[in-house]
Every structure is written in C-alpha cells, then in structure tokens.
Amino acid sequence: MRDFFYPQSVAVVGVSPRPGNLGQGIVGNMTRFGFRGILYEVGASGGVFSGRRIYRSVSDIPDKVDLAVILTPARTVADVLQECGEKGIRRVVVETGGFREHGEEGLAHEARVVEVLRRHGMRMIGPNGLGVINAEIGLAAPFMPIEERWRPGDVSIIAQSGGVGLSLISLLAEENLGLNKFVSAGNMLDVGVEELLAYLVEDPGTKLVVLYLEGIRDGRRLMEVARRSTKPILAIKGNVGTLGKSIAASHSASLSNDDRVVDAAFRQAGIVRVRNATNLAAYIHGLRMPPMRGPNLAVLSRSGGHAVLAADSCERHGFHLSPFPPEFLRELEKHFRASVIKLTNPLDLGDLFDLEVYRKIIDQTLEQPDVHGVLFLLTYIPGIEGPAAREVLKFAGEAGRRHDKPVVLYVATSQEVLLRLKQSLEHPVWTHIELAVRSLRVSQGYLDEAPRWRRTPAPPDLTVDTAGAARLVAAAQAEGRDPYLHEAVQALACYGIPVVAGRHVHTPDEAAAAAAALGYPVAIKIVSRRISHKSDFGGVQLNLRSEQGLRQAWADMMERIAKAFPDAEVEGVLVQPMVTGGREMIVGGRRDAAFGPVVLVGMGGVFVEILREAALRVAPVDREETVRMIDELPGAAILRGARGSKPGDVDALADVILRVARFLADVPAVREVDVNPVRVFPQGEGCAALDARVILG
C-alpha cells in the first residue's frame, strides 16, 4: 500500500487542453500542493496543458512511472490499464465512474478491469472515487479542485464516499487539525478498506485514523486489523437502515440487525463509532489531548451560569466534581477581592478580573493529584480583554500538556474572534459546553477500554458432539427444510446446552403415553416447518396436569392451527415435562454477511422482540465477554439479585452463550438459531432451555 502514497512519478491519464476537462483538476491539485515528484500528463488528443506536454499514451512516456491516476470513460479503462501493465506500472488509481453502479454494462467493464489487473499483477484503488492525498509529499490526486486550507498533520482518512471524504478534510481545516493521508476507496474492486487501514495503522506519519464506511466487505478482517492498532480509529458508518433489506426469520435476526452488529463489532475491536461529523471533532480532539486518567474533573468558570451548565453536563457524562482540598481553597482565596463567592467545584471566578491570576489558578488546579482534567470556561469582551484572554487560553493548553492532563476550553465571545482562536491556538476551542465535556469522556473511555479491545478472545475448550449435530442438520438439508423443533433441540443438546428432554409424537395416544413416562404436568408444542411463532397461534399448550386435559389441549391446538394455517403440514407434537421458576431469557445468534457468527442474549419469552432488550457480540467470545454481555442488559440487576431476591445462575447462562457461539462456528449451514426461553434458576442451580429454532442458509 505504501507505493500508492509515496510515488516518485505520477502519470495523470485523461488530460486534454479542452476547457472543463476533469483531468486538469488532478494536475491543478498536484501543482498547487507542490508534488515533490515528476508529473506526466496523458490524453488521447495530445497537446499541451499547464506548460507540460500531453503524451498520447503512457507507453510514450520515456521514463519509469510509479503511479497512474486514470480518469477516462469506463469503456476505455481496461485498455488504459493494459497499457499501464505493459509499461510496468503496478499501482493505479481509477477515479472514473460508470461501473457496477450503471448495471450490466458497468459490470462487464469491471470484469475486464479485474482480468487486466490479475494478468499484470497490478493493484488498484477505485474505481468511482476521488483518489489519494499524501500531504507529506504534496500528492493530491482528486479531480475536484481542493482549496489550500488544510495543513499537513497526523490525521488520516479512508472514505467510501469521495464527497463525504472532502467534507471531512474541510472539518479538519476548520478545527485546525492537520491532514496526513486521504484515500477515497470508491467501489473497492481491488483494494479494500481493510488493506488500507492495515497500512495506516503501521504508517509513521499517521497518529489517528478516521473512517467513513457505507458497506463493510470483510468485517472480521476489519476487526483483526483494528485490534492490532495502537492508534485511535474513529468511524462514521452510513447506510444504517434495515427497511426492505430482509425479513427476519427468527428472534435473533430481528434483534441483531446489521447496525447493531456493526456497533458490537466496533466496540469489540476498539473502533470508536461516531454518529455524525459534529461529534467527530470532539472525538478527534479528545483522543489527541493528554489522556483523562480518572473521573475527577475540575471546572473553572468566569460565569456562574456557565458553571452550572457545565456541572450538569459533567454529571450526564459520568464525571465527578470532587471538592477541592481546604488548603488549596485557602490559597485561592488570596486572589479574590472579596469573599462574595463560595469557593467549591465548579469554581466560580466571577469575582476575579485580573486574567493574569487565572494562569496561577489553572496551574495550581492541575497540580492537584486528585484532579484528572480541567474544564476552563471563559467569557470576555474582545475589544477590552482580547489579547489578555488569548494569552490565558494559550497558557491553559500549554499547562495541560506540561502536566500531562487534559484541559478543555469553552469560550464565549464574538464569532469573528472565535474563528481566529480556532485557527491560531494549538489547543481546541469549544463553543458548546456539551461537546467540550464529551471530548473528555472520549479520552477517559478510550484509556479505560483500550486494553480490553486489544485482547483477542480465547474461547474455552468445550466438550461437544459436532458430528451428531452435523448429522441432524444434514438430514434436514437433504429434505430442503429447516430442522424440526425436536431436531433443533437434539442438535443443541449435542453442544451441551441444557435443553428440556421431550418426545416427538404423532397421535393423542402417543402423547398420553409420553406424558405418563415423563410425568405430569407437561407442555405440548406443535412441530411444523411453516409455523414459526407457535404461541401466537395456539401451537403451545402449557401446564397440562392430566390425560384428559392433554387430549382436550391436543384437540384445541389442532383446531386453531387448522384455522390459522389450513395448508400447513403438521409433523407432530413435542411433549415436554413442564418446567417452572427462574427468569426467562433468550440466547441466540446468526451468521452475518460481513462479520460471520454473531451471538446475543436478552430478556426472553413471547415479548422479546417488543422489549428488544438484548446484548450481542461478534463471535468468538470468551467467558469474560459473555458475562459482560449479560451485565449490559437492563434486567441484569434482577439477575444479580436486586432488592433481596436470589441471584440467578449467571455462569450457567454465560455457558449457554458460549455453546451457541461454538455451534454457529462449527456448523456453517446454520444461518440463525434461537434458544428461547432459557429459564435461569437461582445461583448454583443452572438453567434450562425450553424451546429452540434452527434455521439453515
């Protein structure tokens, strides 16, 4: 990947002297940003542009070319690549559109492009993108003219949308953050986000990576790369809607839509998800400051009202405003003109008018061992206090770096002055208190979570009967169906999941015999390939205590099913002993197209999709992570024994999650699995799976 960003010579293919030619934009950007290598222009019409000869073909260039940037019609790209391959050019960036986004004709163009790339061992970024930028050497290959507003820095961007990517570059410029590298990935016909990210996490010039993603091609590879990174990775994920994508066949699929999987995967891999560009600046600044090594924050404010607002924001974000030590407050009192303001945290500096004194207070506050960060809020009138205020703000940022503690600045003054401050200070200036505090939250959260993110989970060694489960699944596959209820239960039993034993029967007499053998009370459940949510249509009858009640329930159930599903084939009934007590949970999983096996745990029962209380992870997971999943649930406190109730057997529930994850990993034919409900009994008494559904793909 390095050869895309550090070429010594670049050929821009698609340049002509005609007004409005887009290739001229690439040449203009490369010239304006001072590309340090040799630039060649190529176009079929020949001629001259910007004082350079336009070669009619890359083969006419007399010298070696490291990188070709191509912007010619889609139908010509494969031929241009063939010329590049014969010339010995092994890195190409194709900015042309008109490929898969233009239907069958575009797909045919893509097929030709891939064939040429493979024949010559070439690598390509694109097509349908805006190319690459490396601020270190003046490489600026987008065809859209770029204003020379950003400065070289250490933030790199990978964007699947060129337009969004350029808006992120503008954001960096507005926030006085420097750009290092930029790549518009386009259609990713060859080089994908995962390879580019793998390069940037090792790139010496990049200290922080921003991703804009619309689709994820290889989620597991993305997670693997991110886990290796010692650099912060921030991601904005677009295209999050699920309407019209699919109809969920199971609870697990419904509860783990694509965006929830992305959320879980990013958290597990240490990718910080950002919901919009407004928050992105807070996140970038927060991760570039000295780290917030604890929860204790000091708020220093010239305005009492702003101090109150700041205190509210700090509480929302989980910070502590610990009282200052008495000796510290006694020292501060010496600076005040009168004892009209009670000194506490937040510290109201409204009685102080000498801005020079603010420096001492900031420094003394940072010296406190129990203060982990400072929020400094300053309101002032530019014409009177402008120079002095600027010096105080500059000092505050420098003091934070000197003490290795974050200092965030909120400033209320004129808009014109704020813009100048943002562009001239090395430290961020916030105009919204909430964003300032959020940047500190990001700093502390990243420091706390990073060690866990970088730990690759080691699932426990479980005793399972993979062959037995595979045989059950294969038998269903051979008949072109999903496993029946009793088969799903047996398959999960092969994986050590504590399912309630039952008997598959076909007549009321067989059901009565099974109930007598199992012992009353019993439950009966319909077995049919077409009936998914059995309880919604009378397909589950519970707490049957006698043969007479069993036979009546059988008749009622068959009558209801016949009305609801007149054409459905009923393959029998599962008779199970009645199990009561415990708390109903669901454990399940599905095979995600980008991330592979995903497991979830939630509050179970018939209302699971209404309550939508579920936690999920991309497998594999270890025991520590499964316990963390359970503790994320809103009802976790009840499981843990809130209000004097007996704690549930969380370890047994965690074991079920691990075994479902292993089942999904071992049996690739399984697309979705529900174990619902799982009754979790008091601690030490285990749990029992009462029902199961396995869907094949």
DSSP 106-132: HHHHHHHHHHHHHHHT-EEE-SSS-EE
**pLDDT tens per residue, range 649-669:** 999 999 999 999 999 999 999
Kind plus residue range of the DSSP H or E element containing 154:
strand 152-159
Average pLDDT over residues 73-100: 95
pLDDT (0 to 100) of residue 585: 92
| Alpha carbon distance 207, 445 (integer Å) | 18
pLDDT (0 to 100) of residue 578: 93
Percent of the chain as helix, strand, coil, to the nearest 5: 40, 20, 35
444 token code pair:
């502390």
pLDDT (0 to 100) of residue 280: 92
pLDDT (0 to 100) of residue 246: 47
**pLDDT tens per residue, range 318-332:** 999 988 888 888 877
Q: Which carries the bigger pLDDT value, residue 529 or residue 466?
A: 466
Q: Specify whether the CB–CB gap between 152 and 179 falls below 8 A.
A: yes
State the distance between the two ends of the chain, measured CA to CA, in whole angstroms.
36
**Residue 611 clears pLDDT 60, i.e. is over it:** no
Whole-number percent of the chain with pLDDT over 90: 70
pLDDT (0 to 100) of residue 243: 44
Average pLDDT over residues 198-212: 97
284 token code pair:
């970038």
Q: Which carries the bigger pLDDT value, residue 192 or residue 258?
A: 192
Domains with residue ranges and CATH for the chain: 1-146 (3.40.50.720), 183-242+252-288 (3.40.50.261), 293-453 (3.40.50.261)
Average pLDDT over residues 594-612: 78
- Residue 620 has a CB neighbour count (10 Å cut-off) of 18
310 token code pair:
């700041």
**pLDDT tens per residue, range 118-158:** 999 999 999 999 999 999 999 999 999 887 667 899 999 99
**Residue 599 clears pLDDT 80, i.e. is over it:** yes
Whole-number percent of the chain with pLDDT over 70: 95
pLDDT (0 to 100) of residue 640: 86
Q: Which carries the bigger pLDDT value, residue 65 or residue 253?
A: 65
pLDDT (0 to 100) of residue 257: 56
**pLDDT tens per residue, range 165-183:** 999 999 998 888 999 999 9
| Alpha carbon distance 429, 232 (integer Å) | 21
Say if residue 677 is preceded by a cis peptide, omega within 30 of 0.
yes
207 token code pair:
């200290």
pLDDT (0 to 100) of residue 25: 95
**Residue 625 clears pLDDT 70, i.e. is over it:** yes
Q: In what order do the strands lie in the sheet with 152-159?
A: 139-140, 131-134, 179-184, 152-159, 208-213, 233-237, 271-273
Taking the CA atoms of residue 199, residue 204, residue 208 and residue 213 in that order, the dihedral angle to the nearest 10 degrees is -20
| Alpha carbon distance 310, 262 (integer Å) | 32
For every residue of 538-601, which 3-state class applies, written as one string?
Answer: CCEEEEECCHHHHHHHHHHHHHHHHHHCCCCCCCCEEEEECCCCCEEEEEEEEEECCCEEEEEE
**Residue 254 clears pLDDT 80, i.e. is over it:** no
Least confident of 136-145, 235-244, 470-479, 637-646: 235-244
Kind plus residue range of the DSSP H or E element containing 360:
helix 355-367
Instruction: Report long-range pairs for 119-123 (Cβ below 8 Å, ≥24 apart).
Output: 119/85, 120/81, 120/82, 120/84, 120/85, 120/86, 120/90, 121/90, 122/81, 122/84, 122/85, 122/89, 122/90, 122/91, 122/92, 123/4, 123/90, 123/91, 123/92, 123/190, 123/191
**Residue 508 clears pLDDT 80, i.e. is over it:** yes
| Alpha carbon distance 620, 91 (integer Å) | 36
| Alpha carbon distance 96, 282 (integer Å) | 34
pLDDT (0 to 100) of residue 248: 46
Confidence tier at 606 by pLDDT (50, 70, 90): low
**pLDDT tens per residue, range 350-386:** 777 778 888 988 999 999 999 999 999 999 888 888 8
pLDDT (0 to 100) of residue 614: 87
CA proximity to 310, closest of 142, 440, 485: 440
Average per-residue pLDDT for the chain? 90
Q: Specify whether the CB–CB gap between 653 and 587 falls below 8 A.
A: yes
pLDDT (0 to 100) of residue 247: 43
409 token code pair:
């600045």
pTM: 0.89
pLDDT (0 to 100) of residue 326: 87
**Alpha-carbon distances of 155 from 20, 170, 205, 361, 447, rounded to whole Å:** 32, 13, 8, 33, 19
CA dihedral sign of residues 10, 14, 18, 19? negative
Confidence tier at 480 by pLDDT (50, 70, 90): very high
**Residue 244 clears pLDDT 50, i.e. is over it:** no
**Alpha-carbon distances of 675 from 370, 580, 604, 639, rounded to whole Å:** 48, 16, 9, 18
**pLDDT tens per residue, range 380-432:** 888 888 888 999 999 999 999 999 999 999 999 999 999 899 888 989 999 99
| Alpha carbon distance 152, 480 (integer Å) | 59
Confidence tier at 338 by pLDDT (50, 70, 90): low
